[in-house]
Amino acid sequence: MDGLDLQRYGWVVWTIGVVLFAGVIAAVIAAVVRAGRRPPELPSAAERLQREAPLSAEVEAKLRELAELQQSGRIGEVEYEQRRAEVLAAAPGTR
């Protein structure tokens, strides 16, 4: 091999390297864009069923009573939310 062949070989190797590097960069950019468009994760079926499970009559009555207290102005929004969270947390079958 003479010097001209080595020079061509060097250019071929360099060109292939640049093309491969550009391909890797393009793949990373495409993955980032695709990840940005992905919808939020869906809840599991167990979580969905737990949210949709009907509340007991006792819990519903307590929640109705709290709503009436808030609407009549006897408790504020913050206290209503705190009490509501306590009632739901104490209900069987909820977290």
Q: In the structure, what pLDDT confidence band is assigned to residue 89 with cuts at 50, 70 and 90?
A: confident
Does the predicted TM-score (pTM) go above 0.75?
no
pLDDT of amino acid 95: 47
Q: What is the pLDDT of residues 44-56, one digit of tens each?
A: 676 776 677 788 8
Distance, in Å, from the CA atom of 41 to the CA atom of 64, rounded to the nearest integer, reads 33
Q: What is the pLDDT of residues 36-83, one digit of tens each?
A: 887 777 666 767 766 777 888 898 899 999 999 999 999 999 999 999
The pair of structure tokens assigned to 68 is 């009436």
Calculate the dihedral angle through the C-alpha atoms of 25, 30, 36, 38, rounding to the nearest 10 degrees: -140
